[in-house]
Structure 1
């Protein structure tokens, strides 16, 4: 399947289920309008109604994902180059997860997310993408079989966790780190159980692991058992083995 032609992001925008182009594109996102500081009281009249939109996003997500098979959520950078080893690793992971009987869930964007969706789709598996309204890097990639676009990060995050049996993090930036530490917090506080968290790519992730082990742990900010929640490996086969073992 050929790559989708790149579209000038200034002329293309997704707002929930709505697609906008050219001068119809908004200059702000729903999350920004919700979270930004307000200097007047107009928000008192708009925020209660915004709750209904948030509720609608939860309902739409639950309805679309309720009957998907067991799945694994994979995160990684939208900026991963299609010709890079990290992209190939993502495709390999998507293929291996499908062969092990899992659907894959990603953020639905380009880069590492596209790689995982592509590996799953090419292998005949269920490839799911949960997009987000952003001023950039927001279009669902062409390898997504089931795609949902969200306005609010916290709704999307709920879907990532609720319908997954594990998290795998490929090399990524702030977004990947955000999801990683949210998942760790949920497991640490027993909000979710039997939920392996895997960092795939030892060279990339070892500095973070070293900092947690050498600084955070000695400072008594976490326990040894918390550090053990992270599995930092290079092997896709080992990642799949950890996931399948945790389900037993």
Structure 2
């Protein structure tokens, strides 16, 4: 094929920008990427663009993996940020954190106040490893004072990965939408075998019984889940039972690794 033909209508005007090819009107960019990097001191809107967000997301994964890589076996515990310190559920959270620390488990929470703080506090005061994974929110929250190892995230989906990757069990204290989100995320991953030997415990029968009954009477009854899926959920009021489920699952996991 002749050079003249490449310069004709069959070959549109083209410019390469790294792996990206720009043609026709998109190729008229007057400067190169490195020129804009070195010379430009213009607007800062670029830090909010999607390509830049990809780097931030990557950095959050790297930071989280690095901070948590050497964490021993751990249990992720969720619950409401709105639980007052004087509420019985707060005392239960502390007892649960202590019991998990006593069997050598680190605890991982969202690092906030309320039930999360209670679990972190119970573990920390017992000498266990207390981990908090915070999230940037429109209102000020911050990590609670009983977090020994804390990581703050911008993105919920990165934070969720850390909750799941570094835990061998998942316990839900009474909570709101955030707790529900994490509960069904965990159930979906266990159901689809993305994670294995991973008990999901609903702690507090008075609070969770209605949801459990609905799952059984609606989801199961209408064939949206199976009996094995319902069996993934463990409903209890007993800390010893919850800890035993964690221990049994860990021992089963050890036998396969």
Q: 5+ residue gaps in structure 1?
A: 1-41
How far has the Cα of 1:137 moved from its partner?
5.6
The runs of at least 4 aligned residues of structure 1 exceeding 4 Å deviation read: none
Which residue in 2 is equivalent to 1:95? 98
Which residue in 2 is equivalent to 1:154? 157
1:105 and 2:108 aligned: yes
Which residue in 1 is equivalent to 2:33? none
Q: How does 1:107-146 map to 2 (within 5 A)?
A: 107-136=110-139, 138-146=141-149
Q: Distance in 1 between matches of 2:179 and 2:139?
A: 16
Which one has the largest radius of gyration?
Answer: 2
1:69 and 2:69 aligned: no
Q: Distance in 2 between matches of 1:90 and 1:122?
A: 13
How far has the Cα of 1:46 moved from its partner?
1.3
How far has the Cα of 1:129 moved from its partner?
0.2
Q: Which string of whole-angstrom CA distances, capped at 9 and with x for unpartnered residues, describes residues 79-131 of structure 1?
A: 00100110000000000000011000000000000000000011011000000
| Secondary structure of the structure 1 residue equivalent to 2:132 | strand
How far has the Cα of 1:210 moved from its partner?
0.4
How far has the Cα of 1:135 moved from its partner?
1.4
Q: Which string of whole-angstrom CA distances, capped at 9 and with x for unpartnered residues, describes residues 171-228 of structure 1?
A: 0000000000000000000000000000000000000000000111111100010000
| Secondary structure of the structure 2 residue equivalent to 1:247 | helix
Q: Which string of whole-angstrom CA distances, capped at 9 and with x for unpartnered residues, describes residues 148-193 of structure 1?
A: 0000000000000000000000000000000000000000000000
Q: Distance in 1 between matches of 2:245 and 2:76?
A: 14
TM-score, normalisation: structure 2: 0.79
Which residue in 2 is equivalent to 1:190? 193
| Count of residues paired in the alignment | 206
Which residue in 2 is equivalent to 1:173? 176
| Secondary structure of the structure 1 residue equivalent to 2:174 | coil
Q: Distance in 2 between matches of 1:105 and 1:97?
A: 11
How far has the Cα of 1:138 moved from its partner?
2.5
